[in-house]
Structure 1
């Protein structure tokens, strides 16, 4: 366990915003993580648990308490199940599954961040989401002051949502278990853009490595693979979720997809673009990515307040023009 007092949140997040940290504690395994959380709770210090920092808008004021940086790593394999430490890099895990001929998360290649964050957000892309493969999430329950294991029903997964997200701060993820499918081919491809890129029909499979490479190519083309040298990747990925509305409220011309409950999911990127915020729209040191209108990017010197104000302008414009409310995907941390 390492402790530092000379770090800013901007140094630990892909958006590069956020003020000074009073006390940074870096932990290397689940035992240290639980100990650090308990220490902060018992002393009454404000606590922020941070993994890859890729889905966070950190406060300009910084953090007057403990920031616990999760750097636990490791993969345990039991047949077709993998139990992964919370701090393990997510894309490294996806690469491991492809190399070891385990299908189920190959379309989630290139997503920045740590494995422990994926069940909180129910991370998804290109037709897959982690809820399809997660069988257990081991957590430290700060309310009960004990470790416990949540099954998928207890996680209450929904579109880019979960019980862990809806009860922020209570559950600290220690490790995640995934049940995957053995073989050299992917799960059925369900996302049209990915199917076209690979050259298969919707519902067909493809070699795992081909799916991974196609997803990485698509994401890089949109600036959605973290690269310090790429200013378009200085983002939190998609800043808004695709809104789900009753079918009768679908927006004419907007791409949409039916949901199991009879509603439709609208393209947030289309709504943002057609509300006047196309690619490369800038306001000071923040704006939309030059390659994808759904990603908001920052420049050196940008502030969280500036970024959130820009996001609010987009939300207001979409609501005024289309009567649809956009929801932010990243978490805006309050000091």
Structure 2
């Protein structure tokens, strides 16, 4: 299995695993957000009806309880899931109480130089990955996956042409790859074309098994072509991050602009301009060695921001 690599950008870290010249797995970690596997010292804020801890900057839900600690006690936790975008209380980060000396399970990997004269991440399809995340559309041989994020699960619908059996087999390979590439965790539903025969449905499930990294659980493909998968969820998928389009596009624009030299002006949609934090622009200015101005343009798509000479 390829090792993780990380490109540390402005506002985010971009984690990837690469094999055969393609990104096989990707995660985006937002600056300032608790990191899965990270250990923190906290105060137990509540033990009933739900255990909650705080480190003074935010709250952590403790699904496994407070480990016998009373309210107000100090404890050590490990973050098990990063916060998920959205205002619902359950989307707060999850954690578990641990003992001192526990080994961290946070991701580790080699750094990708950034910014640099070349762009190794773009060479393996980073921009294509972002386009899949923002559009929810993933093309494969003979069809398209349409990915939709709901509060209950991530749904993957299969559209295409040709024999249903061939379409479903190709879709199974594409869906397994997309789940890994976009870091989709939790409950996942895949709606395949309806195929006749238990043997073909079993083949579809086996194609998922062969390509999706364990651990995960799944159902069989039912007679209507639906299969459900449950995977560990350590953080938001790229589709969930892309749902906050202004911030998603603001960080993507900063990455594109980071290779400029000298003073620039960022032309972008007003919503993207509003999402560009002053500290991000200051950091970009230090990287490029010049000032950074903004030009709002309502005629630009949110993904159409670009750098231009100041």
Q: Larger strand proportion, structure 1 or 2?
A: 2
Fold match, TM over 0.5? no
Q: Name which one, 1 or 2, has greater alpha-carbon Rg.
A: 2
User: Normalising by the residue count of structure 1, what TM-score does the alignment of the two structures yield?
Assistant: 0.24
Higher RCO structure, 1 or 2 (CA under 8 Å, sep 6+): 1
